[in-house]
Amino acid sequence: MARIEAPPAEAEAMTDRPGEPVVASGVTTRSSRRLPTVSPRAFQLLTLVGLVFLGLIVVTGGLVRLTGSGLGCPTWPQCGDGSWVPRSQYATHGVVEFSNRMVTIVMSVIMLVTPVAALRLADRRERRDLVWLSFGLWAGFVAQVVLGGITVLTDLHPATVAAHFLLSMVLLVNGAVLYRRAGQGPGPVTVAVRRELLWLARVTVVAAFAVLVLGTVVTGTGPHGGDATHARRFGFDIVTVAQLHADGAMLLTGLSVALLFAVRLGKASREARRWADALAATIVAQAAIGFTQYFLGIPAGLVALHVAGATAMWIAALRLWLALPDRPARAAGA
């Protein structure tokens, strides 16, 4: 029997792309098996959700410590020998610690999906920065999970607890940069403001991180060890470390006030001015909470607010720094 072939024009119309061979009905083409591409807008939304969860996990981790639930699940990754859920004998502490682990699981899914989504961006060859930042975020999260296990295995030693918190702050840097870059187009970085203003923002970020480090020392010396029966502390004089922390906060306050004027005199963008205002507001609130909790004997409720405020302050400092340099805008409709 003679073989009948479709004319070239008709053959091309029957394929996904011109020039590809016709396939028989019922056979899956290579292009149909591929994962769908991710739009830049959808990817930016994913990075925003990831940034929110990076901040949320800091707050829920603080609640674990402040309620004394750090060993509410005495083993890791299980919550007790042979059990993946909290047992009744662990009471509220087990529920708090287990809930924090559930938030971690949700966050792990986001961290896993983000690099996959970056690889499915239509312009991924031009946006390798997004791919590298996404994989960096995932690698940092894996390190955080491992460090969390070490923290439990060391009975909440204050050094590992502090490292756990500070690594979260580093991950927030990655998450904030990724979210910022996802909302921009490819191209070189441009700096429209004076270099002195950019360096002032950088110094402020360094000072903010130093205040966070001193804060972990205060927390590791104070009464909230994370577990009622296995509370291990640094052994420093609480008055001395609290004074050092306050001194660092005062330096940060001075830098934030300088930025309030500098972003306006330097004609920075409206976004930069907005984040300068937010940074100053969070620092003032943090100072008020910090002094109040110290004179009231460091109540757990105020410490929880202080941890949440520290996270907000850190994000504001990062967003201000990132708002000063700029990249080309993302293409309209992307």
- Among 28-37, 187-196, 203-212, 295-304, the minimum mean pLDDT is found in 28-37
Q: What is the pTM of this model?
A: 0.79
Report if residue 303 sits inside a domain.
yes
Provide the pLDDT for residue 70.
57
Residue 93 has pLDDT above 70, yes or no: no
Residue 134 has pLDDT above 80, yes or no: yes
Report if residue 334 sits inside a domain.
no
Provide the pLDDT for residue 3.
46
Give the whole-angstrom CA distance, residue 241 versus residue 158.
14
Peptide bond before 36: cis, by omega within 30 degrees of 0?
no
Q: Which DSSP state fits 171?
A: H
Report if residue 29 sits inside a domain.
no
Q: Which DSSP state fits 38?
A: B
What is the span of the domain harbouring residue 241?
35-326
Q: At what angle do helices 40-66 and 91-119 cross, to 10 degrees?
A: 160
Provide the pLDDT for residue 208.
96
Q: Position of tokens 């100053």?
A: 280
Residue 117 has pLDDT above 70, yes or no: yes
Provide the pLDDT for residue 25.
42
- Among 39-48, 103-112, 254-263, the minimum mean pLDDT is found in 103-112
Residue 259 has pLDDT above 80, yes or no: yes
Provide the pLDDT for residue 69.
61
Report if residue 158 sits inside a domain.
yes
Give the whole-angstrom CA distance, residue 161 versus residue 154.
10
Provide the pLDDT for residue 74.
62
As a whole number, mean pLDDT of residues 173-183 equals 94
Facing residues of 191 across strands? 325
Report if residue 160 sits inside a domain.
yes
Give the whole-angstrom CA distance, residue 320 versus residue 273.
8
CA 219 to chain centre: 21
Residue 229 has pLDDT above 70, yes or no: no
Number of domains in the chain: 1
Provide the pLDDT for residue 272.
93
Residue 153 has pLDDT above 50, yes or no: yes
Report if residue 52 sits inside a domain.
yes
- Reduced to 3 states (helix: H, G, I; strand: E, B; else coil), residue 14 is coil
- Among 65-74, 301-310, 314-323, the minimum mean pLDDT is found in 65-74
Provide the pLDDT for residue 19.
43
Provide the pLDDT for residue 319.
95
Report if residue 9 sits inside a domain.
no
Residue with the larger pLDDT of the pair 21 and 314 = 314
Report if residue 106 sits inside a domain.
yes
Give the whole-angstrom CA distance, residue 108 versus residue 92.
24
Residue with the larger pLDDT of the pair 216 and 328 = 216
